[in-house]
Structure 1
Amino acid sequence: MRNLITDVAGLRVGHAHDEKLASGSTVILFDRPVTAAVDVRGGGPGTRETALLDPAQTLEHADAIVLSGGSAFGLDAPSGTQAFLREKGRGFRIGSAIVPIVPGAIMFDLLNGGDKNWDRYPPYREFGYEATRTASVDFALGSVGAGLGATTVNFKGGVGSASAKTPGGITVGAIVVINAVGTAVVGDGPHFWAAPFEKNGEFGGRGMPSQFSPSDLAIRAKGGPQENTTIAMIATDAKLSKAQCNRLAVMAQDGLARAIYPVHSPLDGDVVFSAATGDKELDDPYYGLAELGMVAANAMARAAARGVYEAKALPFPGAVPAWRDQFG
């Protein structure tokens, strides 16, 4: 186990970004089409092809999922992924036509100090292509890809990932781009909200504080409306219907609630995708799915904390510090 979403067999992840721009894209590529769904909780989401993932809609499968910076400009990134997949003959076939199905979501990083004065067209389509081309089972965390420009209210955000197995041997993995209006830590201290779910010191092993002060529980918010959003995906090797996959995304959202304070606010656009490769049967369609969702939520919380723990500060005046800058 790599403690990455790619512990779910059949997934690869790629990043592409521009450090001067301070933004980028991350692609989760499936070796074959998978059952996919989505759950949207934030008040200001930016998405592409999410309506298609509703259980009531016809298509069951997706070829890739794209998470991107760039706000609405980043919705170009799935076009780059589509271009790569079409070159490989991947996609939904209608007669002689091939249409890769690539849903995506974006987060806001346009005011992080990077140079956003691109030419006529933003670079996200090329990011999507390059991230797909270079996708691998091993990938970096922190300030890379879609997480390069991510921040929280008091520490740098980034890409995080984690994985786990259910007692029945089903694998689940999460990937998160944490760019929250709130904070992943208690107050300004070293303790992560997700600490009760941490495994093997994966984000510092600091545990929870012995007590909470009123200031720890007060709202702390970054920026203004639409300047935030945490976007994520949960994946499993279980065999799920589209409706079950949707329920998995719903339950995985609880992991963000365990890791970010506050979350799902009108100032965020939080989105969680889900994907099921179908390699293993659930022992029970109800209890088994409940257990899978529980493990998924815990993995999601851990992934969000790792996104902050692994991040590095942007090299711009006034940039938000990294957690490691203060706590090592």
Structure 2
Amino acid sequence: MHTDLVAALDIGGTKIAGALVDGHGRILLRAQVATPAQEDGDTVMGAVAQVLGELTASPRWGEARAVGIGSAGPVDASAGTVSPVNVPGWRGYPLVERVRAATGGLPVSLIGDGVAITAAEHWQGAARGHDNALCMVVSTGVGGGLVLGGRLHPGPTGNAGHIGHISVDLDGDACPCGARGCVERIASGPNIARRAVERGWRPGPDGDASAAAVAAAAVAGDPVAAASFERAAQALAAGIAATATLVEIDIAVIGGGVAKAGEVLFAPLRRALTDYATLSFVQGLEVVPARMGTDAGLVGAAAAALTGVERETVAGV
């Protein structure tokens, strides 16, 4: 049987990864470079071109039918542009057009990174078999995506499901996005760490003041560290419950660095969820850790490319 092959790009502020991925979600070849995030837009595109160059040099490149891109956002899939917060050289940057040109005119699908991870978890991971799901990434920021009615729901611009910027504290801290009390402002890794330090937690001799260090302190019984995770869990629970109430999801999948804290996060999250997800149709909501790991962005970008190919085939294009 002929297996579809697509190219995938996962673009973030730290790294630009690329892969050739088959129709079963297997990565056959990968390439990666550091993102020159502080350079001008064309320099960043040069790094993307370098990754694509490694893929196009593969003997299997000729089989690639499409390209999928999962990018840090905001993205605008309808315009084919990206404006990643942490890549200042790209503002309304015509990434789809540039990638199409660099790959000999292949069809290109663009989605936000949260939506890409959602596509991966639904195709191959923890949300597999679920028709209505929310998948979240809790790390430096908080992103997410939705599966509704068995299909990825990226929305018109590719940003739907961006749960990090639901406000869960009306009079809360100002968020860099311009709103107040956003989930991200309370639950992201840097904000968990910041809150712990503000309330008197001190890093150990190694000076590590990351959320991972706060998690380790919480496991060791530090009440201030545990309280910072409990507050993050409460914010996540409120955001998840709001989403479930709005669109009826039955599973929430949580990945990203902060989810690696395990039960330090998940135990208070499940408890808090019973306080917020109270209506009969959301009471059965499951919360589980993500399964796809660091390749989720690439696998999800590939899923978007394959879906695009399917759509064109059905339309007879």
Superposition TM-score, scaled by structure 2 size: 0.28
Q: Which has the higher helix share?
A: 2
Higher relative contact order (CA 8 A, sep 6+): 1
Find the structure with the greater CA-based Rg: 2
Q: TM-score, normalised by structure 1?
A: 0.28
